[in-house]
Amino acid sequence: MADSGLFDLTGKVALLTGSTKGMGYVMAEGLAQHGATVIVSSRQQTSCDAAAAAINSACGENRAFGIACHTGHKEQLQALVDRTGAEHGAPDILVGNAGVNPHYGPMSSLDDDAFDKTMATNVKSNHWLAQMVAPGMIEKGGGSIMVTASVGAFRPSTGLGIYGVSKLAVLGLVRVLAAEYGSAGIRANAICPGLIKTDFARALWENPKAAAKVVEGIPLGRLGDAEDLKGMAIFLASPASQYITGQAMTVCGGSDMWR
């Protein structure tokens, strides 16, 4: 059977934040497996190097490179984008996956520092990144921007309120990006995972009662794994999704339908 090329990312450069473990790592690996040159990033260079080495080992070629960056610092994000462009070419694909959740509990007990940290990392850093990569994408004739949101954006929570607020803001951000950059061929979409078994959400899925309650509302009958995000990232990065932009793409086993 002939290869349609719908998922071919050969020659593309993908930059991913929060990509040395969990969902970010799996998405980076998937993009590399389909031909992209992948830049993995997190705070520690040793973690970046280890993740890049693992992806290269899995792909059998020199596909991944690690560049450390703290997404809360604008100058570090600019350095990340500039170095990527200088060494590998301007990004065609951006995956803003870095996120934090420093506060668990009601909004009434949320202090200003936790509020600012959550919104800065989960929202503002992705706004900065979009501004930084857009000129290169425009020059190339298009690109794909993905930002990791959450099904927590769709409903209120008395324990994860500020996290949900930040992820709802992410949905607003990608819609505006889609509207502003669509004429330049740049697509922007949010990826909205349900409860995924990663270190980030360990406190939830390792709690048997909490996990069982979540599974009750999932038609597919299980919690998600990081691997469940790979196909979505490949799809949104590739020509297969060339007419999809401004969307909240749920990866949740059916817990949040018709979003």
Residue from 16, 89, 84, 108 nearest 55 by CA: 16
Residues in CB range of 135: below 8 A, 6 or more apart: none
Residue from 215, 171, 170 nearest 194 by CA: 215
Under a CB-based contact definition with an 8 Å cutoff, are residues 170 and 119 in contact? Answer: no
Residue from 146, 147, 150, 174 nearest 164 by CA: 150
Annotated active-site residue 25? The verdict is no
Q: Tell me the residue type at 41.
A: S
Exposed, middle or buried by CB within 10 Å (0-12, 13-18, 19+), for 234? buried
Under a CB-based contact definition with an 8 Å cutoff, are residues 248 and 146 in contact? Answer: no
Q: CA angle, corner 105, sides to 101 and 108, nearest 5?
A: 110
DSSP label at residue 41:
E
How far apart, in whole angstroms, are the C-alpha atoms of residue 29 and residue 35? 10
| Terminal-residue alpha carbon distance, the chain | 35
Residue from 167, 191, 193 nearest 255 by CA: 193
Selecting among 25, 104, 163, 243, the annotated active-site residue is 163
Q: Enumerate the active-site residues.
A: 163
